[in-house]
Homo-oligomer: A and B are copies of this chain.
């Protein structure tokens, strides 16, 4: 990449984020119904997909959760979305586990952070 002022600048390591927000079904909140096992299985399976970078996840006590997975490019995200075992999990998610979910596919343009350890 050149530094000429007319040259486009792109991030050195552009990546994509999939923001998955969901609310667990009230109906199933006291019966796991295979959810935890499938969630673990999907995490393991996703992390073996080509182009997978990392994942982070939090769910509060009311059942609302946000999972963000990071991927090298859109093709990697597309391939994971179409994975046959993942498709079945998506179907079960709609049928049993979630009141709603939203998926947002985003390009990460900038990142910065703070760690108390580094002070």
Contact = CB atoms under 8 A, between A and B. Distances in A.
A65 interface: yes
Given A68-B68, A102-B112, 14 more contacts: A19-B19, A19-B68, A56-B64, A59-B60, A60-B60, A93-B114, A100-B115, A100-B116, A101-B114, A102-B111, A103-B113, A105-B111, A106-B107, A106-B109
A66 to B, nearest CB: 4
Interface in A17-57: 17, 19, 21, 25, 56-57
Interface string A47-86: 0000000001111110011101000001000000000000
Contacts of A112: 102-103
